[in-house]
Amino acid sequence: MVDKVVATAAALELVAFLKAKHGPGLMFHPSGGCCDNSAANCYLLGEITMGAGDVYLGDIGGCPFYIGKAQYQYWKHTQLIIDAIDGSGGDFSLETPEGKGFLTRSRVFSDAEMEELSRDSQG
């Protein structure tokens, strides 16, 4: 199975810290570039509403990761790699007061991975 989103050890450590501080109900959604360069923002579950305009990519650290449909169309050929850095990630994200940020990196899927993803989406 090809993962559409993965996390580095540093990101998983930060997710665990945030879960210990805020509870297990966290989720991720990139900003879409409106204010903070499409950072992977971390929210409390239910803090923002997911709908038909959002695509579920998978979980990181046991937390669901969604992306807007239009942004997904642009990035669907890549695997998102969520990392953690010192400094600010998203302006509206739970880790910002901790002096940390989630950083989104990506890599292009191989032809074989794209074929597998295509088969998986056909169900």
CB 93 within 8 A of CB 20: no
pLDDT at 62: 97
- Token pair of 99 as six digits: 């002096």
DSSP SS3 for 88: coil
Q: pLDDT 10s per residue in the chain (123 long)?
A: 899 999 999 999 999 999 999 999 999 998 765 554 567 899 999 898 888 999 999 999 999 999 999 889 988 999 999 999 998 655 678 888 788 989 889 999 999 999 999 888 765
For 107, 112, 122, the CA distances from 65, given in Å and listed in that order, are: 17, 24, 21
- Token pair of 59 as six digits: 């979980």
pTM of the complete model: 0.89
Phi, psi of 16 (to 5 degrees): -60, -40
Question: Facing residues of 43 across strands?
Answer: 27
Beta strand 100-108 pairing with 78-86: antiparallel
